[in-house]
Structure 1
């Protein structure tokens, strides 16, 4: 009877923790969505301003004539085009992220519906447990109940830590693709500088486009990883700037799109990817140590339970 009741309580408690996690994920995703919507409005304004700057220089306006007389209109026009391109890419990335977050909200809400009555079920089971303990007045049974509940908590901690590790490993995999594309772009760029011609230039830009697509996926996965991290306790003194994950794509574009031709810009973006990737690896190391601690503690509790049963 005790064993069956403990199993039911453990299952109900796990469902309750999942419901609480989904509620937290829902809340944080809504906050992130609102931030991205506000950011989208700001980026849209910047994009329109940059577009006007390009149009103004292209027309025979006073500004356009001024730069023509000075002899550097084309240089200024190229600068404005690059700034417009950078603003456009940031705006498109933001719009894409908003769509992703909206889909995640729908998914969380649908799963939450499955746990509508879990708290009531848990309370009923706990009342049954209390009644059994009072009736039996058995110290051994009470200790067994306490240890079983601790086992349930540890298993939940292990599950949540593993989910965070899996999210981090998906980020690491995405970063690997970004790095591979940028390293290839860097190689083609070096050949381009040595006179590689149209083929080298085209290949370099193709790899930059490829990296841009991978960055969107990396940014999405960073958001998932950041939300998973909020559900686990990182017992470490390592100072890790998780907040920087939210603006990773902006820094990437700032480094890369300012000038698609200049080789140093590819290096800047690579350095940014490596720095953020290193941050993710540090977090994964901490999570791995936490997981080992939880699993070691669980083995100790399970051994104590076996000792009570066999004794």
Structure 2
């Protein structure tokens, strides 16, 4: 009877953990959406200002005349165009993130409707378990139930770690695509320097544009990875640097697109993406260690339960 009841409780606890994850994800998504809305307004103002700067220089304004006399108008226009492009890319990335967050918000709200009666079901099962314990108030019974509870918690913990590992691997794959595109752009850029002409220039810009699209996807997967990590109970001695995930797209665009023709900027952006990639790889390795430890502990706990049942009178 107790084993059957514990199985039911374990199933409900797993559903409760899923419900808590959706609730946590819902709250995190709301907060992220709020921040992105504020960021969108800020970026929109920056974009408008950069656009005005370009138009002012391109027109026959006093400032445009001033730069013409100095012989540096075209250089200044090019600089302003680059700054406008960087602002536009950051603004577009923000709009894309907002759309994704809004869809996620609706999805989580719909999922949570499925778990409306789960808390009551759990409370009912726990009362049944409490009555069984009181009926057979022996040390062996208490110990067995304690081990079964531990086994249930370990299974849930292993599931959480596996989900985090999967999310990390997805982010890692997306970052590989960003790196592949940037490395290709770097190769075309080197050919461009030695006289590759229009073809090399076009191919380089095409690969940079491809890297930008992959980056949007990678940014979203990094956000999911960060959320999954928050569900994992990691030891205090394991340090995980995930703060840089938040501003990944920002410094990518600022470092690359602000002067995307310059070869050194492609190299700089490659270096930054490699840092994030290595960070994700390091976290996955730590999660693998955590997973193996939990599996060993689960096996040991299962053996103890069997031993208790075999020796029970």
TM-score tier by shorter-chain length is: over 0.9
CA distance in 1, matches of 2:239, 2:137: 49
Partner of 1:228: 228
CA distance in 2, matches of 1:252, 1:237: 30
Deviation at 1:12, TM superposition (A): 1.1
For normalisation by structure 1, the TM-score amounts to 0.98
Aligned length: 311
Deviation at 1:228, TM superposition (A): 0.9
Partner of 1:280: 280
CA distance in 2, matches of 1:95, 1:64: 33
Partner of 2:137: 137
8 A contact 1:236–1:286 mirrored in 2: no
CA RMSD across the alignment: 1.0
CA distance in 1, matches of 2:91, 2:298: 48
Partner of 1:88: 88
Partner of 1:196: 196
Q: Report matched runs for 1:232-311 at 5 Å.
A: 232-235=232-235, 237-311=237-311
Deviation at 1:15, TM superposition (A): 1.2
Q: Report matched runs for 1:29-44 at 5 Å.
A: 29-44=29-44
Partner of 1:12: 12
Deviation at 1:140, TM superposition (A): 2.5
Partner of 2:169: 169
Give the 3-state SS of the residue equivalent to 1:231 in structure 2. Answer: coil
CA distance in 1, matches of 2:153, 2:77: 62
Residue by residue over 1:259-307, the C-alpha shift from the partner in whole angstroms, topping out at 9 and shown as x without a partner, is 1211001001101100111111111111111111111111110010111
For normalisation by structure 2, the TM-score amounts to 0.97
8 A contact 1:235–1:286 mirrored in 2: no
8 A contact 1:181–1:211 mirrored in 2: yes
Partner of 2:187: 187
CA distance in 1, matches of 2:73, 2:238: 50
CA distance in 2, matches of 1:42, 1:157: 41
The answer as to 2:98 corresponding to 1:103 is no
CA distance in 2, matches of 1:241, 1:138: 47
The answer as to 2:115 corresponding to 1:122 is no
Partner of 1:156: 156
Residue by residue over 1:152-176, the C-alpha shift from the partner in whole angstroms, topping out at 9 and shown as x without a partner, is 1111111111111100000000010
Give the 3-state SS of the residue equivalent to 1:21 in structure 2. Answer: helix
Deviation at 1:17, TM superposition (A): 1.4
Deviation at 1:114, TM superposition (A): 1.1
Partner of 2:208: 208
Partner of 2:146: 146
Misfit runs of 4+, over 6 Å:
none
The answer as to 2:23 corresponding to 1:27 is no
8 A contact 1:36–1:94 mirrored in 2: yes
Give the 3-state SS of the residue equivalent to 1:258 in structure 2. Answer: helix
Structure 1: unaligned runs, 5 residues or longer: none
Deviation at 1:258, TM superposition (A): 1.2
